[in-house]
Amino acid sequence: MFTNLKVERSVYEVTDKSPLYRELRPHKTQRRVKSSHLANLIESFKNKGSALKDVPILVDRYGKIREGHHRYLAATSLGIPYYIMQVSHMYENMIAINTNQRNWDDGDFANYWDIMGREPYKMYNKVKAEHPYISYGVLVCIFNKKSGRYKADSKEFKEGNLTLDHLDHVYKTVRKLAQLKDISKNPPLSKSTHAKQQFQEAMLEALQNVSFNFEKFKKKLSTKKHKLNILAKRTDMLKEIYKIEGK
């Protein structure tokens, strides 16, 4: 496929046996080291492999790192090989790279595991496509039958460990959220409120409360005044939901 294409630059492997291994230094334009990001990289490299061969560190002819300082520090702290590609000492693309580069969000992880053939993620994406107003994070909560997002759940989701253990709960919950779209009149529940993560999480908490009567709440919401559109915090929204149900 690539036989007739020009080879633009070479990538070099640097092992801990090389004199260069610990000699690279960040260029003055590199961002300050963020300890939490570095710690996360080190942990990721330990558990999943470094993938550094696929993302070479950009270095100029003076041994100054132009992009990839955190990856360099993580690799050298673990004593594993890293890979470099030489760029001009007049290199000016670092800002563009770092401005446009972003971490994966839940949608990226869902699509990745869907493509890799994981059935729970295929179902997750199907439900998300059918109910686009539900945030990715809230949908993870629903699949886990919880009202809030926990760090452990987020980690499991990103690592491909979503399950279909609560599929009936998923269907029932998204149906109930969908029913709230156009039901209120005084004032109408705005689209932005209906799609707001704080509102959705407040509803999940209410729905998991055995004493909460959703049908009663739905009926009252269609006739009674409410302040849901002007509230921002999940706790305040939950109080308002209970207040509407009890009117």
Tens-digit pLDDT profile for residues 44-71 = 888 877 778 888 999 999 999 988 999 9
Is residue 20 scored above 60 in pLDDT? yes
The ranges assigned to domains in the chain are 11-100, 106-246
Rounded Cα distance between 56 and 196, Å, is 39
Q: Name the percent of the chain lying above pLDDT 90.
A: 65
Query: Which of 17-26, 150-159, 165-174, 189-198 is the least confident region?
Result: 150-159
Rounded Cα distance between 159 and 139, Å, is 16
Q: In what order do the strands lie in the sheet with 57-59?
A: 11-14, 82-86, 57-59, 64-67, 25-26
Domain covering 11-100: architecture: Alpha-Beta Complex (3.90)
Q: pLDDT-based confidence at 29, cuts 50/70/90?
A: confident
